[in-house]
Amino acid sequence: MRVKCVICDQIQSIEDDSFQAKRLRNRPIHTFMCKPCEERITEKTNQRIATGNFRLYRSNSEDDEW
């Protein structure tokens, strides 16, 4: 299966039977990111976390007592 990175538009091929290929076929919301882009984003995010000014906004999920 040929896939395209959403950031750098590099085209790569992955195995048709892999979990990632199945996820991309069945759920269009999932996107493919190549390894260099994924590593770069991880590195930059970790640098931002280390500064102390990084806030991760997550929705507050309230547990129902039912």
* Mean pLDDT of the 31-58 span: 89
Cut 0.95: pTM above it: no
For 49, the enclosing helix (H) or strand (E) is: helix 35-51
Alpha carbon distance 39, 37 (integer Å) = 5
| 3-state secondary structure at position 33 | coil
pLDDT, residue 11, reads: 93
The pLDDT of residue 47 is 92
Whole-number pLDDT of residue 66: 63
Task: Give Cα separations from 29 to 23, 32, 50, 59, 62 (angstroms).
Answer: 9, 10, 30, 20, 26
User: For residue 60, is pLDDT > 80?
Assistant: no
Local confidence band at 13 (pLDDT 50, 70, 90 cut-offs): very high
What residues form DSSP beta bridges with 4? 11
Tell me the domain boundaries of the chain: 2-50
Supply the Cα-derived Rg of the chain in whole angstroms: 17
